[in-house]
Amino acid sequence: MKKILLIILTIYLSLFPLLLYGAELDSTNYKIVGATTKGGGTLESVSKDYSALIEVGRISNNPRNYSTNYKIFTSPEQAFLPAVPDIVCFEATSSGSTNCQSGPSDLLTGGMVAICGPSGCYDRARFEIDTNGNPTDTLYAVMISQDNFVSDTRYIDGTTFTPEYQSTHNLNDFLTKNDWESEDFNIKGLQPNTTYNIRVFALKGDFTQTDPGPIATTTTSGGSVFFDIDIADENGINAETSPPHNIYFTGAYALIGGSAPTTAEDRIWLDGSSNSRGGFAILVRGVNGGLKSPTTGQTVLSANANLDTSPDGFGLQNEYIAQGSYSYLGTLSATSNYSSSGNSVGIVGTTDTKVYDASGPLFDGRMALKVIAKPGTDKSAGTDYQETVYLLLVPRF
């Protein structure tokens, strides 16, 4: 019926003079100047240099509609595409400040080092998405590369948050902005000292995946460990001393057989920090298993003991623990045998024994150990009772 009506109208218009009634094509915000109608229901705007022709339902593949930064979509289905997303932040080693807008509070005030430890993350990173106005239920997927997408293009798995190849990439790897950013570290399984590039693309319904957005780049850190020993008295919280490290029981602190337990004047002060995900342990080991006199051949044996009730003994006791103020990181503590009070001590044996434990990455750990000894009445007098003590920090990367 439409075809017949079109023929009748064509004949009618060809036989009689044509009368057209027009109206101003202006609006509050726009004005179309010099518009004329054409057959087919189109508007044509003609100038000296340009001609714009728009037809309802017309699909154009004209490559001149594209540029580096912009694309004019002319096919009907492309009207339903979500906006191409940007990246707010992609960080692994930021310090003191961050471009990220969510995540742990320590991140927002101290950067990634505040949640990864000294020097930042060596195997993890965080990114956040700028949706450019997309609805909250829009889904996003992430591409990752180590060569700016020249030959290495992988994706971030939406369950494990680790890089995967295209062969295993599927719809489960598309998550909302909230789901991505609810993970403190939403990219994991990275390599230390490596530069990574990411791009994000959006999906809102079937057949609506956008092009990838702009590229963001970050570099992971290496593993970081710091350990230091200082010798100073009980007020030496900020003391810094150089080797050799020696502690003496002399003068007012001289050991007397059969006397009460004696605490040496100086303490063993320790500094420990690491970005190791599993934290670290500090171990102690001696050569003799106690204070041994080469002259007498006798040893004040070391043991886990209360020296108030033991006939003699030797060992260490924690006196002080402090750490950096970032609450997101690990907690530093002394193990049970070394954390007692009074004259209870932990052993300095000939095998490694854990004295301190950090449950996660740690900034500015500071510790102090008292050295306590009690020679028994059976021990001969001597001035050369001694022990060589090894302290070892073991990070858990």
DSSP secondary structure of 80-129: GPPPPPEEEEEESS--S--S--SS-HHHHHH-THHHH-TT--SSEEEEEE
Highest averaged pLDDT of the listed ranges 63-67, 179-183, 205-209? 179-183
Q: How confident is the model at residue 28, as a pLDDT? A: 61
For a pLDDT cut of 90, what percent of the chain falls above it? Answer: 76
* Cα distance from N-terminal residue to C-terminal residue, the chain: 78
Q: How confident is the model at residue 27, as a pLDDT? A: 54
Q: 373 near 304, Cβ under 8 Å?
A: no
What are the boundaries of each domain within the chain?
86-219, 225-395
Q: How confident is the model at residue 55, as a pLDDT? A: 41
Q: How confident is the model at residue 206, as a pLDDT? A: 78
Could you say which of 3.40.350.10, 3.30.110.70, 2.60.40.10, 1.20.1300.10 is the CATH number of the domain covering 86-219? 2.60.40.10
- pLDDT (tens digit, 9 = 90+) per residue, 71-101? 555 555 555 689 999 999 999 999 999 999 9
Q: Is the pLDDT of residue 21 over 80?
A: no
Q: How confident is the model at residue 382, as a pLDDT? A: 84
Q: How confident is the model at residue 270, as a pLDDT? A: 98
**CA dist 85 to 26, 161, 273, Å?**
35, 19, 38
Mean pLDDT of the residues in the chain: 86
Q: Is the pLDDT of residue 119 over 50?
A: yes
CA 336/CA 353 separation, integer angstroms: 12
Strand, coil or helix: 180: helix
- pLDDT (tens digit, 9 = 90+) per residue, 248-307? 999 999 998 889 999 999 999 999 999 999 999 999 999 999 999 999 999 999 999 999
What's this model's pTM, rounded to 2 decimal places? 0.78
Tell me whether strands 225-232 and 267-274 are parallel, antiparallel or unpaired: antiparallel
Q: How confident is the model at residue 199, as a pLDDT? A: 98
The separation between CA 121 and the C-alpha centre of its own chain, rounded to angstroms, equals 5
For a pLDDT cut of 70, what percent of the chain falls above it? Answer: 80
- pLDDT (tens digit, 9 = 90+) per residue, 139-176? 999 999 999 999 999 999 999 999 999 999 999 999 99
Q: How confident is the model at residue 58, as a pLDDT? A: 39
Q: Is the pLDDT of residue 235 over 80?
A: yes
Q: Which two tokens stand for residue 329?
A: 């990181």
Of 116-120, 154-158, 252-256, 386-390, the least confident:
252-256
Q: How confident is the model at residue 347 (pLDDT cuts 50, 70, 90)?
A: very high
- More confident site: 206 or 344: 344
Q: How confident is the model at residue 383, as a pLDDT? A: 87
Which CATH architecture does the domain made up of 225-395 adopt? Sandwich (2.60)
Kindly state the average pLDDT of the residues 20-24.
Answer: 44
Q: How confident is the model at residue 72, as a pLDDT? A: 53
CA 370/CA 336 separation, integer angstroms: 15
Same topology for domains 86-219 and 225-395, yes or no?
Answer: yes
Q: Is the pLDDT of residue 365 over 60?
A: yes
